[in-house]
Amino acid sequence: MSNIILEMKGITKTFPGVRALDNVNFKIKEGEIHALCGENGAGKSTLMKVLSGVHPFGTYEGDIIYNGNNCEFKNVNDSEKRGIVIVHQEFALIPELSIAENIFLGNEQVKRGFINWNGTISKSRELLEKVGLDIDPNTLIKDIGVGHQQLVEIAKAFSKQVKLLILDEPTAALNEDDSENLLKLLLQFKKQGITTILISHKLNEVFQVSDSITVLRDGKTIRTYSVKEEKVTENMIIKDMVGRDITNLYPVRNKSIKEEVVFEIRNWNVFHPQDTERQILRNVNIKLYRGEIVGIAGLMGAGRTELAMSIFGKTYGRKISGKIYKDGKEVEFHTVKDAIKNGVAYVSEDRKEYGLILIDNIKNNISLANLQKISNNSILNKNLEFTETENIKNRLKIKAPSILQTTVNLSGGNQQKVVLGKWIFTEPDILILDEPTRGIDVGAKFEIYKIINELAEQGKSIIIISSELPELIGMSDRIYTLCEGVITGEHKKEDVDQEILMTYMTNRSGGSKK
């Protein structure tokens, strides 16, 4: 059979107080796609950092054997010289530079000390072709979508003569279409003999492309499966990842939906903030019953986040028209404050940019949106704040030694819980959750779902915006499909599957009914 291209033997890496990797063994065959699965904090990223030289030789124990040689990478350049290239989850692209400049960033094509622009452009073209991207390499990064940015990152990896490509959550920010494309591309690379390590939370994708799957848990290798040789199911992987059975990915909810419309959007129209001719949302009508969870499905760019933000105190868009009804009465939200006062909360899709003050602690983050609750004539009652936020921390099971812990040090799941906690603290009736489980692991997802269900059980109404269709179907009672700013359909949970949703999401005139 094929040779072992890479073997990591007995890798142990400790940080002060934590053993991040504990005697990890990891073998990759040449030319395969090998998925690395595990919850956040399981050690996947650390392992890849050891492999790529981010954690240099000497800071860990164990051996890395690559192509039969024992490797001692001192930095990222060392590993890249050998053809090991990692594409990180967070893009390292510079928005104001062109695609070509980004591809050759740090590896500029030079002729006699000056940049060889012709060479740069023509080589970029070749590389872009390889990743199936047909765009002018002079286009600025900020002008292309996330899906294309991801491809540029991969093209950049190719510019380094990649033999072993490591992709860390490559589809986390992508919509279904782009993800699909990317996965196809990986299969093409495989034909060209490139070995890929794929780190992903999305098990359906893992199963779609992988030849082998290795599961890490708590810094230890649990098992390596060979997908071809044995029958592997998602449940087996999940069980290995979390160390217990998860019979249902979505917790059961005691439904108590009342026939009472608590929130309604009528004829909502929104235009682009800069290009005011461009209509982003067209005559959107949405209804929400008490205790109901409603999903909004749409591709990236369909206007999902724009819809949420334009409702939430007009934080997005221009020339906004339409009406909002809360408990049957017409309301207007000119500012975020108005929206909060009327019991609406919006948990943004990007928790680091728009949700948290990362340098601040859990307590201050939770209390921020409702300081009135813990103050008297603008003077804070710090003790009350302490007990109230401590309650939220316990209620949401935020894992941290204390509420004085800085949020930057928390895991993604716990950060998301803090953001949820902040909005629960405002005692809302309506919660709009934008990608509530993006980039967090299976265990934490389950807990977030439980929290969402509890809120609905308490009679709150919830809108979930998500790119993950199984999540929408698993959690919602009703789902609206949104395509290019138009609501193309309203579906009962029982009546849909992913395919039906996808048809409505991609077809503006609504899915053609069979």
The residue assigned the tokens 């804070």 is 380
Candidate segments 97-105, 196-204, 332-340, 490-498, binder of other proteins by CB under 8 A: 332-340
Asked whether the beta carbons of 272 and 278 are under 8 A apart, the reply is yes
Nearest one of 168, 164, 4, 200 to 73, comparing CA atoms:
164
Quick one: 254 or 376, whose CB is closer to other proteins? Answer: 376
Nearest one of 233, 214, 237 to 224, comparing CA atoms:
214
Interaction between residue 223 and other proteins (CB under 8 A): no
Scanning residues 403 to 422, which ones bind other proteins (CB under 8 A)? 422
Interaction between residue 382 and other proteins (CB under 8 A): yes
How far CA 344 is from CA of 136, 176, 268, 357, in Å, comes to: 43, 29, 17, 21
Report in angstroms how near the CB of residue 267 gets to other proteins at its nearest: 25
171-182 core/surface letters (b: 16 or more CB in 10 A; e: else)? bbbbbbebbebb
Q: How many residues bind other proteins (CB under 8 A)?
A: 34
Three-class HEC string of 56-81: CCCCCEEEEEECCEEECCCCHHHHHH
Nearest one of 396, 453, 476, 478 to 253, comparing CA atoms:
453
Interaction between residue 254 and other proteins (CB under 8 A): no
* Residue 263, beta-bridge partner list: 288, 326
Cβ count within 10 A of residue 187: 12
Interaction between residue 364 and other proteins (CB under 8 A): yes
Among 180, 336, 412, 454, binds other proteins (CB under 8 A): 336
Report in angstroms how near the CB of residue 20 gets to other proteins at its nearest: 18
Report in angstroms how near the CB of residue 432 gets to other proteins at its nearest: 11
Among 244, 277, 359, 512, binds other proteins (CB under 8 A): 359
Q: What is the dihedral of CA 307, 309, 312, 313, to 10 degrees?
A: -120
Distance CA 26, CA 23 (A): 10
Length of the chain: 514
Candidate segments 38-46, 97-105, 323-331, 339-347, binder of other proteins by CB under 8 A: 339-347
Sheet holding 164-168, edge to edge: 84-87, 164-168, 195-199, 33-37, 212-217, 220-226
Scanning residues 309 to 328, which ones bind other proteins (CB under 8 A)? 312-313, 315
Among 18, 380, 397, 458, binds other proteins (CB under 8 A): 380
Report in angstroms how near the CB of residue 371 gets to other proteins at its nearest: 5
Report in angstroms how near the CB of residue 342 gets to other proteins at its nearest: 11
Distance CA 180, CA 353 (A): 27
Candidate segments 2-10, 175-183, 286-294, 350-358, binder of other proteins by CB under 8 A: 350-358
Asked whether the beta carbons of 180 and 152 are under 8 A apart, the reply is no
Quick one: 234 or 332, whose CB is closer to other proteins? Answer: 332
Candidate segments 3-11, 177-185, 288-296, 347-355, binder of other proteins by CB under 8 A: 347-355
* Residue 271, beta-bridge partner list: 279, 318
Quick one: 2 or 381, whose CB is closer to other proteins? Answer: 381
Interaction between residue 1 and other proteins (CB under 8 A): no
How many Cα atoms are found within 13 Å in the side-chain-facing hemisphere of 45? Answer: 12
Distance CA 166, CA 103 (A): 17
Among 161, 371, 394, 499, binds other proteins (CB under 8 A): 371
Asked whether the beta carbons of 83 and 160 are under 8 A apart, the reply is yes
Distance CA 286, CA 154 (A): 39
Q: Please classify residue 198 by burial: count the beta carbons closer than 10 Å to its beta carbon, then call 0-12 exposed, 13-18 middle and 19+ buried.
A: buried
Quick one: 138 or 335, whose CB is closer to other proteins? Answer: 335
Interaction between residue 340 and other proteins (CB under 8 A): yes
Quick one: 120 or 389, whose CB is closer to other proteins? Answer: 389
Quick one: 90 or 457, whose CB is closer to other proteins? Answer: 90
Report in angstroms how near the CB of residue 406 gets to other proteins at its nearest: 10
Interaction between residue 257 and other proteins (CB under 8 A): no
Interaction between residue 207 and other proteins (CB under 8 A): no
Quote the DSSP letter at residue 175: -
Among 23, 25, 224, 375, binds other proteins (CB under 8 A): 375
Candidate segments 109-117, 181-189, 277-285, 361-369, binder of other proteins by CB under 8 A: 361-369
Quick one: 274 or 512, whose CB is closer to other proteins? Answer: 274
Scanning residues 47 to 106, which ones bind other proteins (CB under 8 A)? none
Among 276, 372, 394, 458, binds other proteins (CB under 8 A): 372
Candidate segments 58-66, 93-101, 370-378, 455-463, binder of other proteins by CB under 8 A: 370-378
Report in angstroms how near the CB of residue 429 gets to other proteins at its nearest: 16
Candidate segments 6-14, 285-293, 375-383, 410-418, binder of other proteins by CB under 8 A: 375-383
Among 386, 391, 454, 459, binds other proteins (CB under 8 A): 386
How far CA 250 is from CA of 397, 470, 475, 507, in Å, comes to: 18, 10, 7, 28
Binding site residues, other proteins, CB under 8 A: 312-313, 315, 335-337, 339-340, 346, 348, 353-360, 364, 367-369, 371-372, 375, 378-380, 382-384, 386-387, 422
